[in-house]
Amino acid sequence: MQHALNTQPELYLARYRAVRRQTEKLCAPLTPEDTVMQPMVDVSPPKWHLGHTTWFFETFILQPHVSGYKHFHPQYAFLFNSYYNSMGSRIARSDRGTLSRPPLQDIYAYRQHVDQYMEKVLADTLLLEKPELAAVLELGLQHEQQHQELLVTDIKYILSCNPLLPAYLPSPATAVLGLFSEKQPKTDGSPCQKAFTPLGTGARASALTMSYRRIRCLYLPLRPRLPR
């Protein structure tokens, strides 16, 4: 691992950019409101994933190894630490969905801030002087990819809990043909089901569900294709 880094640091720079870009691509179809949701404790809001993966590089590479590095925000370590006890206190996992602030645009600014420093780290000779950083860098990349898997799962659950049954991405083919899933909302007593309860049951619920589907059929073909 160290050998590959020392001889081909540009490959690590390319990998770093690709991994970081992929996280943001996964979140691109979401609204800012989607990114705050935590409908159950086991789900982390997408906004938190965006911040937490950035906190990792800031905490384990930039702060200890880059002289003069300045925090983007002094309280972000509290917001975006997860279970790294040695790195200080943190917000409770169950409270991650309370973070209406900082706004999403600040989290993207945080990512950009850290990325700019990381690009310098990966482009100059610092890594060559400190080859032990390669292991931490590899860990950070794998960590962010692990969170990408979590993001997909969490986004799926978040959208599934919305009574409007929003699609993550429009599917022009199925929208045109009206081939939507006949799957009904959850009925397992979860918070999702409670969200549906006011809509009623039986014929009324079926009518409302059909209304949602008709709206989706009419609306989806008109939506611009979202960036990937």
Chain residues that interact with Fe ion, rule: CB under 5 A: 82
Q: Shortest distance, CB of residue 86 to Fe ion, whole angstroms?
A: 14
Residues near 44 by beta carbon (within 8 Å), at least 6 away in sequence: 38, 52, 93, 96, 150, 154
d(CA 159, CA 170): 13
Our CB check for Fe ion shows the closer of 82 and 148 to be 82
Our CB check for Fe ion shows the closer of 90 and 216 to be 90
What's the token pair of residue 187?
């009925």
- In the bound state, the residue with its beta carbon closest to Fe ion is 82
Our CB check for Fe ion shows the closer of 50 and 192 to be 50
If we measure between CA atoms, which residue out of 147, 167, 153, 146 comes closest to residue 31? 167
Could you identify the residue written with the tokens 């000779």?
Answer: 125
Our CB check for Fe ion shows the closer of 54 and 209 to be 54
Q: Are 220 and 166 in contact (CB under 8 A)?
A: no
What's the token pair of residue 215?
């709206």
Q: Shortest distance, CB of residue 56 to Fe ion, whole angstroms?
A: 7
Q: Shortest distance, CB of residue 54 to Fe ion, whole angstroms?
A: 11
Q: Shortest distance, CB of residue 42 to Fe ion, whole angstroms?
A: 14
